[in-house]
Amino acid sequence: MRQAFFVTGTDTEAGKTHVTCSLLHATRRWGRTAVGMKPIAAGVESNGCNSDVACLLGASSIAPPLDWVNPFLYEPFIAPHVAARAAGRPIEIPVIQHALERLRDLVEVVWVEGVGGFRVPLDERYDTADLARILALPVILVVGMRLGCLNHALLTAEAIARRGLTLTGWVANRIDPAMACFEANLDTLRARLDAPLLGVVPHGGSPEQAAPLLCLSVLPGFDAAPSAT
């Protein structure tokens, strides 16, 4: 079964790339081929690459053409619609759709990482929520576990539902290892988010180390036992 999921976050720096890489490694542990996609990225390192895109490629089963994985890359680390306007290269959702279809032909699972939070503007008309809606993908929410995450997570889940999308799972990412009352906050999210918790990603570990902690069996299509790889 060919599948794709849209990974969004409660905010910028919630750890979407780290969790998406963990999901890629977890998928490969199930014996399935997978590739990460970041349709829109802002921020170019001194080597001319975007670090998030490089991480996704490093965790993927294959190395497809870069413009399929990341069709729109802008140099400054600023809001994408501002960067696109400054570069004179608008974000075109049909280009992203075409790139996604190409990737889906190559692997069994595509993990599509959004940019910023769920409502980040892409231009005067569309935002990231519209991108997820047009791609028609089930959504995985990365909750950056820190003070304020309850409000951010619940508002994001509400926005996902209002777009007619399915929140198919969420991941608690411990970006603040000193967060007070972590377990109480986790229990609150479990009770209030209408989706299964895929797992808790600890602070400071690698995506490879986090992969075994993610339970993919609760996701549609992951109904077979994982491979011992």
For 106-130, how does the pLDDT look when each residue is reduced to its tens digit (9 = 90+)? 999 999 999 999 999 999 999 999 9
User: Which amino acid does the sequence have at 40?
Assistant: I
H-helix segments, 1-110: 16-29, 51-59, 66-69, 80-87, 93-104
Asked if the structure places residue 228 within a domain, the reply is no
pLDDT at 193: 98
Asked if the structure places residue 72 within a domain, the reply is yes
Asked if the structure places residue 29 within a domain, the reply is yes
Report the distance separating Cα 159 and Cα 108, nearest Å. 28
pLDDT at 225: 58
Q: How many domains does the chain have?
A: 1
8 Å CB contact between 133 and 8:
no
Asked if the structure places residue 226 within a domain, the reply is no
For 25-44, how does the pLDDT look when each residue is reduced to its tens digit (9 = 90+)? 999 999 999 999 999 999 99
Low-confidence ranges of the chain (pLDDT < 70): 1, 224-229
Nearest to 170 by CA among 194, 150, 198: 198
End-to-end CA distance of the chain: 20
Nearest to 116 by CA among 194, 227, 27, 41: 41
Asked if the structure places residue 223 within a domain, the reply is no
pLDDT > 70: what percent of the chain? 97
Domain enclosing residue 20, as ranges: 3-217
pLDDT at 47: 81
8 Å CB contact between 155 and 47:
no
Pairing of strands 197-201, 109-113: unpaired
| CATH number of residue 115's parent domain | 3.40.50.300
Asked if the structure places residue 156 within a domain, the reply is yes
pTM for this predicted structure = 0.95
Question: Over the chain, what is the mean pLDDT?
Answer: 95
Asked if the structure places residue 225 within a domain, the reply is no
What residues are annotated to the active site? 38
Report the distance separating Cα 96 and Cα 71, nearest Å. 7
pLDDT at 167: 98
Asked if the structure places residue 194 within a domain, the reply is yes
Nearest to 168 by CA among 215, 131, 201, 121: 215
Cα separation values, 209 from 18, 205, 212, Å: 11, 6, 7
